[in-house]
Amino acid sequence: MKSIKAAICAAALMLTVLLSGCMGKEPNDLAYVVALGFDKADAPDNYVMTIQFARPTNISGGSSEGGGSGQGIVENIAVEAPNIYAGINLADHIVSKKLTLAHSKLIVFSEEIAKEGVGDIMETLARNEETRPDIFLAVATGSAQEYLFKVKPVVEVNPARYYQLIYEQHYASGIPKNTAGDFYYNQKSGLRDNVLPLAGTVRLENEEEGGQLNGSSGGGSGSGGQGGSNSDSGSDPDKTKNELQKNAPPTDQKFEYRLKDYIAGQVAINQNNESETMGMAYFSGGKEVGRTGSLETELYNMLVGYFEESYLTLMCDKKNAVTVLALSNKKPKYEIDRKNRRVTITMYFESDLYSLPTDYLAETGIDGFERAAREEITAASEKFINETIRPSGADILGLRSRFKSCFLTNAEYEKHKDEIMDYDIKVNTRFRVRRTGLTIKEAGE
């Protein structure tokens, strides 16, 4: 009797599983959203929401037309709605498949929205069971829609993989590391202000603002944001000169000597992909209050411990620039001295020499170069803190989160938490050369 009951229960359980599977969505019935863009609409409290979703047959090469070629691998549609869910509902009436956010990789906010605050959008996203905390966020230097329409991966065919490689790469120190989960936690906890990468588009000299070369739409149902016809743009240098490059200010310091402090949209020339990511926007109270270029973003990554490995060019004296591969395997150390109202940040770097002005090194020795490098990195970091971060009032270094450990109770911390923003901040750099590549004569030999 027991065996009969067990068999009946097993059959009922199997039937339940089979029926529940039939009621779910089949993969072929879904359209996977890769990226979302938010721009302000003309109507109050409305957004123009750009939805970029993948075309799997073209990614995998299963389609005879453009399969696996990088062309037409995503589709872009734009709808106007007051929130993300209303926008998805509208888009479901346009796309034949059900849109899902389960595999979304990127959300881009326009400059205007970032300055007004993105808290309401993030609050809505946090309540969606499909979205993941590792979605990347970015702020467009202009229109979020224009950025998504101009993304055309040159090497990586899979668009989701392309965004992942761009926004989480460990060797590009010109953008900050941040995800939707980090952004939401920082915003709710109040212990740290947020930073987001800047995403921009190249503007060619004979192209009107917001448009594309040769009248290409750059998106829509025909091209999917990937198949805009500017394949001949790379053949004529006069047509592909980036007019925004002249806006990038040159560095006036010895750190990263002769490099320009680029932001997204100012670099690319003669390339098919007219979009790029460089620099960062920083927030205070949930609203964007300023932007930095790639060089200051590199300093930010050093100060908060996100810097891992990158080439640095350091001007050691009036005529000698030395290039090193700098590495940091140890997080910066923050020491808070309440008595003297001071914060000391100690950073740790190792390096390999890649360019060797032998006359300079023969005169100063490795010790002399290490001392000069420490001074340059320290000076650039303190200038970044005092001239860029401090005037905005943004706590992007997370001083409050470290200050909290100085108090026994949360009530006491809440009473004094803002005083840390007035503390003097000093930077102490530890820098050493681990491999010279050549035998260098020491000074005096």
Judged against a pLDDT cut of 80, whether residue 226 lies above it is answered with no
pLDDT at 221: 36
Whether the CB-CB separation of 121 and 183 falls below 8 Å is answered with no
Q: What is the mean pLDDT of residues 282-286?
A: 90
pLDDT band at 204 (very low <50, low <70, confident <90, very high): low
Q: How far apart (Å, rounded) are the C-alpha atoms in residues 205 and 344? A: 47
pLDDT digits (tens, 9 = 90+) for 136-159: 999 999 899 999 988 877 666 677
Judged against a pLDDT cut of 50, whether residue 29 lies above it is answered with yes
| Residue closest to 227 by CA, chosen among 352, 349, 44, 55 | 55
Whether the CB-CB separation of 205 and 243 falls below 8 Å is answered with yes
> DSSP assignment, residue 28?
G
In terms of DSSP H, where are the helices of 169-278?
180-189, 220-223
Q: How far apart (Å, rounded) are the C-alpha atoms in residues 146 and 163? A: 16
Judged against a pLDDT cut of 80, whether residue 219 lies above it is answered with no
Mean pLDDT: which of 62-66, 89-93, 248-252, 394-398 is highest?
A: 394-398
Which two tokens mark 47? 């957004």
pLDDT band at 174 (very low <50, low <70, confident <90, very high): confident
pLDDT digits (tens, 9 = 90+) for 63-107: 444 444 445 678 899 999 998 889 999 998 888 888 888 889 999
pLDDT at 168: 84
Q: What is the mean pLDDT of residues 265-276?
A: 71
Q: What phi and psi, each to the nearest 5 degrees, are found at residue 160?
A: -65, -40
The half-sphere exposure of 150 on its side-chain side, counting CA atoms within 13 A, is 26
What amino acid is encoded at 90 in this protein?
L
pLDDT at 176: 92
Radius of gyration of the chain from its Cα atoms, rounded to whole angstroms: 26
Judged against a pLDDT cut of 70, whether residue 54 lies above it is answered with yes
**In the predicted model, what is the mean pLDDT of the chain?**
79
pLDDT band at 4 (very low <50, low <70, confident <90, very high): low
What pTM was computed for the model? 0.81
Angle value at C-alpha 215, between 210 and 221, nearest 5 degrees: 85
Secondary structure E strands in 215-341: 275-284, 287-292, 309-315, 321-327, 333-337
Query: 3.30.70, 1.10.1740, 3.90.79, 3.30.300: which CATH number matches 308-445?
Result: 3.30.300
Ordered by start, the domain boundaries in the chain are: 26-305, 308-445
